[in-house]
Amino acid sequence: MLTVIGNLKGGSGKSTVAFNLAVWLAKAHQEPMCFDLDPQSTLSDVAEVRHDEGHQPEIQVFRAADDPAELIKHHKGEVLVDVGAANLWAMRQAVNMADRIVVPVTPSQADVWSTQRFLGIVGEALKDGHAPEIWGFINRADTHSSVRETAETEEALSMLPGLQVQKVRLGQRTAFRRSFSEGLAVFELERAGKAAQEFSRLAELLFPKVKKMQKSKAR
């Protein structure tokens, strides 16, 4: 399955989610193939930090120049693609290969607008009746329950046609920031921490078969 992690808005957490998912899948022996189609190269950079620090398993990240279509054709496992607004051409290519598009959204009105615009771009880019599922979820949710912005954003997202809003949230947590600087997934940094718990829920929702395999192995 090919999962694109995308949104127009910078800083919504695309690369954070892509990196953590890549490690989660690699630890479950899924050998994910990752593509970094964003010229900022954040996913490639964090994979390099992980390599330099000697953390295992390593995450191999391909770049746009590596001809994704040719490489993906020969890959049997999961494929993750990180795309940003800086390369709209790559974004259009990626959504046309996607089985599913995962859209992290930070809680704000501006993010709702840019998600709406992103859905428009995806709709225009899709060819020949190709219709990947589009899943949205809140990243960087406020951890104080008194702040209404997260629930309001979730509600506004649920009104956007074509977007399936998932009831999982990743909170605004230091562990997600440390993930980049240390080259470790949040569940490697703090196994039982809140970020790890939230992230596992997201990963299990996205890859239920992998979850099932892990559970049966643990028995």
CB atoms within 10 A of CB 24: 24
> Counting contacts by CB under 6 A, is residue 13 touching ligand ATP?
yes
C-alpha separations of 102 from 55, 146, 155, 178, 210 in Å: 26, 27, 17, 22, 17
**Under rule CB under 6 A, residue 187 binds ligand ATP:** no
Task: Assess contact for 138 and 167: CB atoms under 8 A.
Answer: no
DSSP-based three-state secondary structure for 11 = coil
Q: How far apart are CA 151 and CA 6, in angstroms?
A: 21
Window contacting ligand ATP (CB under 6 A); options: 58-66, 71-79, 167-175, 208-216: 167-175
- Residue with the two structure tokens 């599913």: 100
Nearer to Mg ion, 15 or 44 (CB): 15
Distance of closest approach, residue 190 Cβ to ligand ATP, in angstroms? 13
- Residue in the block written with tokens 């993906």: 72
Between residues 100 and 213, which has the closer beta carbon with respect to ligand ATP?
100
Residue 11 found at the interface with ligand ATP (CB under 6 A): yes
CB nearer to ligand ATP: pick between 110 and 218 = 110
Interface ranges with Mg ion (CB under 5 A): 14-15, 42
Interface ranges with ligand ATP (CB under 6 A): 10-16, 38, 40, 42, 84, 139-140, 170, 172-173, 176-177, 180
